[in-house]
Structure 1
């Protein structure tokens, strides 16, 4: 979906509401951790104030992941807020501050699809967890420690320091 700049100019500061659905298949293909995704619904508004154009709103979708610690499939109800500012390419504000978050406008339209896809993908976790305090799998027996407590001893001792462990055993007697 594209927003025509002339349409925003005619509204004289009045916000233009928009609603669109992003291509879920393309989003799934672009993020390795996404196993499934519902249609991504975008709702927002665009407005022109002075020489700047503002686009803001929310993206919503249900995203299926596999937990990076316990390998359990889970669904994340994603709600991603977005806010972008645009200025014409020849606007002096773009030349003054190169590190600005203001994006240059090319042409007479704001292309929303690519912009919103990037915002959505950047908000997705690269290390998805089913819960913040997920205990993961036991490295010895492989049991899911969120469901069952195992009695494995997972103490790792650096082999270079193993001799020191023997020294402390003798001193405790």
Structure 2
């Protein structure tokens, strides 16, 4: 095939592993991820909410690798299976607080870059510092999803 994809045995597509092809760029993304984690902690964003945002962004981007990883992380941090089961339709479920709803809507806006700009998340339940930290979280999660999807990271039982 043309481009970075190659046809393998059994018609399985694979791509260039971006982290191995340009490890210094990957390390820079890891540093950005660490900086975003610090910003989230400073802003007082609950670790379970961080995982919910990572999961929702990964759902929107179709990243199975990140979905599996962050669902496991959320469960390990005490998230419930009921909430995880409905995060894809969070606006339909009564499982989420106003702050969680605002954060999920903000993450969706950052991921989709809706035009004209939607501000359904802007209900006052997030501080300016939290809005910034969650926006950065969605931005870096989008980057991680694109690395994983483009590199076709294997996701098998």
Q: TM-score range by the shorter chain?
A: under 0.3
TM-score after normalising by structure 1: 0.21
Higher helix share: 2
Higher strand share: 1
TM-score after normalising by structure 2: 0.22
